[in-house]
Amino acid sequence: MADAKLLRIYLNDHLAAATAAARLARRVLRSNRGTELGRLLEELARDLDDDRRSLETLMAERGIRRNRAKQAAGVVAERLGLLKLNGRLVHYSPLSRVLELEGLRLLVEFNGSLWRTLGNESLEARATRNAERIRAASAGATSTAFGDGLPPARH
């Protein structure tokens, strides 16, 4: 049945992204422990792990097997994020924080779209709240990284 196949692909794509998001949140947390951002990331990592488990449960209930290749691709994509040029060869950079938070926000918003599609309003609302919290943290990280060096916003 085509619908079942498409649903399997869709859910596995989201599971790979959810896995990458949880891993990214924990990685960013390691570089920001003991800060306000670190506390946000601790909560976020727990939420993302919970979302991933909820998705795995839903898939199991529907008899949808996890695609291990997509899972591996999500892990590899998250790890490739370590290779980005951040202005420093070895150490964590303020630019690292900016880029990681931007990526994390996109993954959380993608996660929210899953819950919206599946009609899970509480998980969708949590994803929306988390995306907004990341957006606020990202604004602070951007200010720290670039100071007054950003061009004025055009409307």
* CB distance 115 to 25 below 8 Å: no
pLDDT > 90: what percent of the chain?
A: 65
Report d(CA 22, CA 18) in Å as an integer.
Answer: 6
Residue 7 vs residue 89, higher pLDDT: 7
pLDDT for residue 86? 55
Note whether 37 and 98 are within 8 A (CB).
no
Separation CA 155–CA 152 (nearest Å):
10
What is the rounded average pLDDT of the residues 91-115?
91
- DSSP state at residue 35: S
Mean pLDDT of 89-118: 89
Report domain extents, the chain: 2-146
CATH class, 2-146 region: mainly alpha
Query: How would you class 76 by CB atoms within 10 Å of its CB: exposed for 0-12, middle for 13-18, buried for 19 or more?
Result: exposed
Amino acid at 25: A
Q: Which residues contact 141 (CB under 8 A, 6 or more apart)?
A: 37, 94, 97, 98, 101
Instruction: State pLDDT tens for residues 130-145.
Output: 999 999 999 999 998 8
58-89, pLDDT tens digit by residue? 999 999 998 787 776 666 666 656 555 555 54
pTM of the full predicted structure? 0.84
Mean pLDDT (the chain, rounded): 87
Can you give the pLDDT at residue 67? Answer: 77
Tell me what percent of the chain is helix, strand and coil, each rounded to the nearest 5: 80, 0, 20
